[in-house]
Amino acid sequence: MFGNPETTTGGNALKFYSSVRLDIRRIGAVKEGDEVVGNETRVKVVKNKVSPPFKQAEFQIMYGKGIYHMGEVIDWGVKLNLVDKSGAWYAYKGDKIGQG
């Protein structure tokens, strides 16, 4: 099959006239113990007339709080080799700082 099999309802007008279209997906759950406290979310830019299209972002949304900024800081630390990730554990300068 070629392309995305999902369609937008409402005909072609919504696809044509929109300036920005996003595909937002829940990719997992954030848990503390047995309780679900948030969602892991992936956002893909499907169409963008005002800046570069086809970008992608992943982040955590905590219920009642919004986007979890500390998780973003830790992810950037891993990408920049400032924070070491070993399995599910994160360490900074040899000290374990958390399990994710």
Give the Cα separation of 18 and 16 in Å (integer): 6
pTM above threshold 0.85? no
Q: Which pLDDT does position 1 carry in this prediction?
A: 65
Query: Which domains can be identified in the chain, with CATH numbers?
Result: 1-67 (no CATH), 68-100 (3.30.250.10)
Residues forming a β-bridge with 91: 84, 96
Give the Cα separation of 69 and 5 in Å (integer): 33
Per-residue pLDDT for the chain (100 aa), expressed as one digit of tens each? 677 787 778 888 888 889 999 999 999 999 888 999 999 999 999 999 999 989 999 999 999 999 998 888 888 888 998 898 888 888 988 888 877 6
